[in-house]
Amino acid sequence: MDYLRGLWRDTRQNLITGHDLLLVAAVFALAALIPQYARPRFPHLGPGWPGALTVLWRSVFYLALPLLSLILLRLSLAEVGFSLKKPGRWLRDIGLLYLVMLPLVYFASRQAGFQRAYPFFAFERLGTGSLLLGFGIRAVGMFTWEFLCRGYLLFGFERRVGGAAAIAIQTIPFAVMHVGKPGLEAIGSIVAGIALGIIALRNRSFIPGAILHWSVAVTLDLFALAHG
């Protein structure tokens, strides 16, 4: 009986004191997992389209489930990074990081593994219109991905555990979500996750990181096309 009472006490204490963090973690995990296992059969529209439709399908869950949970968490959109203040600062932040990343992206684009993986959608090779369409789909994907990691998860934890711990927490799943990408990109996602977390906290917004993430992805596609 003493064991059961102790088990109940410890369980109850953890659930009560950390219920909001547990909810954030559970919703994040559901948003990441459900589209992997509840994927509809997409129509075959041509090369690259299954990947494009998968990105859009995932984006629905990355955005919708966390937004719905804000009601239970009693958080506003601004509190999870839907804000764009002080553009002079965040533009300099992402501009500097983009310039740092540019030679690394150029080097990566010349590697065989990256040339097989990029451009991200095969139909981007079909012409300017298809290329711009691919960039638009990537923009949706990057926005929702950044919201999930650097908006919902980062700010959801930061208010309880502090900035450094929140950056560390969101970096882990962000890096794991790069499984299957070229090795250099997957390993580099650890540093990228930390840097994007710092930018998000510094500017109280995930949107600058989404712009940077998309800009780097688009540049990689362009370099890959140029070398292809």
| Mean pLDDT for the stretch of residues 209-221 | 96
Distance CA 25, CA 160 (A): 13
| Mean pLDDT for the stretch of residues 94-108 | 95
Cα-based angle 45, 50, 52 (whole degrees, multiple of 5)? 100
Q: Please state, as a whole number, how many other Cβ atoms lie within 10 Å of the Cβ of residue 67.
A: 16
Distance CA 32, CA 120 (A): 20
Distance CA 76, CA 223 (A): 39
The residue ranking higher by pLDDT, 150 or 16, is 150
The Cα-based distances of 75 to 19, 82, 210 in angstroms read 14, 11, 21
Spans of all domains in the chain: 2-227
Task: For the chain, give the percent of residues with pLDDT over 90.
Answer: 78
Question: Could you write out the DSSP letters of every residue in 111-137?
Answer: SHHHHHH-SSSGGGGG-HHHHHHHHHH
Of 139, 149, 137, the residue nearest 206 (C-alpha)? 149
Of 149, 186, 202, the residue nearest 171 (C-alpha)? 149
Compute CA 90 distance to the chain's CA centroid, rounded to the nearest angstrom: 18
Going by C-beta distance under 8 Å and a sequence separation of 6 or more, which residues neighbour residue 189? 174, 175, 177, 178, 181
pLDDT at 228 over 70: no
pLDDT at 1 over 80: no
pLDDT in tens, 35-90: 999 988 887 888 889 999 999 999 999 999 999 999 999 999 999 999 998 888 99
pLDDT at 4 over 90: no
User: Are 46 and 72 in contact, with CB atoms under 8 Å apart?
Assistant: no
User: Are 138 and 161 in contact, with CB atoms under 8 Å apart?
Assistant: no
pLDDT at 227: 77
pLDDT at 2 over 90: no
pLDDT in tens, 142-200: 999 999 999 999 999 999 999 999 999 999 999 999 998 999 999 999 999 999 999 99
Place 32 in a pLDDT band, splitting at 50, 70 and 90.
very high
| Mean pLDDT for the stretch of residues 96-116 | 93
pLDDT at 165: 96
Q: What is the pTM of this model?
A: 0.92
